[in-house]
Chains A and B, each alone.
Chain A
Amino acid sequence: MNLTTENALHGIDELLRERIAPEIGDPFAAQMARLSSLLLRICANAVEDAAALRVDENAAIRHLLADVGVLADGPQAHRLAQAAASADPGLAVSVLDAENHRLRCLLVDAQEWLESRRDEAAVVLDQRIWRHLEKTEARRAPRE
């Protein structure tokens, strides 16, 4: 069996929670050890699918931006089309996060523009974006 980062972090979490924290006499330090173990557990559970989750989310945002672009025209339509056609520049989590931030900023702008239109197509697309945000938040929920 491969000793993965996830596996190692879970091991440290167990050590802190079950063997070290109970031996600490100072209540503040003991509580910090327990909270450290919880933080480690959350991190451990986020390791395995960290890249996949970001790749999926970035693709979903590009898809939404493409659909907003259909309603737009001029420079805005061009900007949205460019973003929709873009690709993740790498698979390191920090790189994916930077791209995710860029795309999310564009999504915020796109949603604000849709809100200013209020025609049926814009309302439907705005609602799709909100449902996308629900789905994203659920997938990103910290796993304890």
Chain B
Amino acid sequence: MTDLENGIAHYLDRHMAQASDVRVHGLARIYGGSSQETFRFHAAWNESGRAVERALILRRDATAGLVVAERDLEYNVYRALAGHGVPIPGVHFLELDAQWLDRPFFIMDLCPGKPGNPFIPGDPYDGHGEEIARQFWSIAGQLAAIDHRAVGLDSLRNGALAAGFWSSELDHWEAILDEGEAVREPAVRGALRWLRRNPPPDPLKPAIVHGDYRSGNFLFTPDGRISAILDWEMCHVGDPLEDIAWGLDPFWPMTRHLPLGDGLAAWEAASGMPVDREALRWWQLFSAVKACAIWTTAAASFASGRNREMTIALSGIRGGHFHRDLILRMMRERGAMG
């Protein structure tokens, strides 16, 4: 066993009272876990005279990354949403003490399926794009319909608010820009001011917002079924249009697989709420600003040496340019250039 495998085995041995002879093998890093380190592994043990083997995932804090995640947030969201219709992995252990594996982590089930990479040419969904896109929007609608208080998620960011989510989220991302921006980006700041001058209406009700709901952040099986929605580190309470706009972003657009109208119809059917198309346009510009804040954090964490992942550096450079260019195109549509 490697050092990390040994560490996991030791942890499981100390935390599963009924288990003995705990072994961990097949540990492999999963490419794409940019905000947290993600590893798959197999754990085997004996329990009441019976041999047990499970395929599991370790999510460990990165030293620095795309977003500053609250350590227990994703674990708590998985726990709260279990059994509410949104496909998610089961979670088993949350450990905030760095003594075990150097940094906080949690352990969850390895779900069947694979992610579709929206950043490569060709069909990321092996010919199932349309049915996967329909599920994608339906699941987002299901999530929007859940009462965050009823599932115990009122401690999420904005969880106590009843309105004004747009303003709270703008404040949140502007603060992240302020912290990470080495060279001021006037286009992003101009878009921020436009968003404040032209606020959207409040949503019909507060919703659980995944925060990074997009192509690439879920698993699908060979028969075209979404088996798990992943990467909930940016989950908060807000306007459900935020997730829709993020899923539509042209950096990873779901409209590659299903026309916008069909996708929104699937969302409306699942959520029981209408989509305000004009407000959605506001959230699409917001998404581009939010993306710029995320890329700014990525660039800053690489530049500082706290994170040396190539995906982080490239996100900062390519993603930053893509979304500033997108902001400028959206502002041109809004008449900013005359």
Contacts and interface: CB of A to CB of B under 8 A. Distances in A.
Contacts of A27: 31
Nearest to A40: B310
A129 B337 CA distance: 8
Interface string A19-43: 0000000011001100110110010
A142 B313 CA distance: 12
Nearest to B338: A127
Contacts of B310: 32, 35-36, 38-39
B328 interface: yes
Contacts of B182: 97, 101
B325 interface: yes
B321 interface: yes
B336 A130 contact: yes
B261 interface: no
A140 B183 CA distance: 13
Given A101-B183, A130-B336, A133-B186, A35 B314 contact: yes
A133 B187 contact: yes
A122 interface: no
A131 B184 contact: no
B193 A28 contact: no
A119 interface: no
B313 A133 contact: no
A82 B325 CA distance: 30
A117 to B, nearest CB: 14
Nearest to B190: A111
Contacts of B324: 137
A104 to B, nearest CB: 4
Nearest to A133: B187
Interface in B265-316: 309-311, 313-314
B84 interface: no
A137 B338 contact: no
B190 A133 contact: yes
A104 B337 contact: no
A97 B183 contact: yes
Nearest to B194: A115
B331 to A, nearest CB: 6
Contact of A38 (B31, B189, B309, B314): B314
Contact of B193 (A39, A115, A137): A115
B337 A101 contact: no
A137 B321 contact: yes
Q: A32, A134, A140 — which one has the most chain B CB atoms within 10 A of its CB? A: A134
Interface of B: 28-29, 31, 182-187, 189-190, 193, 197, 309-311, 313-314, 317-318, 321, 324-325, 328, 331-332, 336-338
Given A35-B311, A127-B336, 16 more contacts: A32-B309, A32-B310, A39-B310, A97-B182, A97-B183, A108-B189, A115-B193, A127-B338, A130-B331, A130-B337, A130-B338, A133-B186, A133-B328, A137-B324, A142-B317, A142-B321
Interface of A: 27-28, 31-32, 35-36, 38-39, 42, 97, 100-101, 104-105, 107-108, 111-112, 115, 123-124, 126-127, 129-131, 133-134, 137-138, 140-142
7 contacts: A28-B31, A97-B182, A104-B186, A127-B336, A130-B187, A130-B336, A141-B325
Which 8 pairs from chain A and chain B are nearest by CB?
Answer: A35-B310, A127-B338, A104-B184, A130-B336, A133-B187, A101-B183, A130-B337, A108-B189
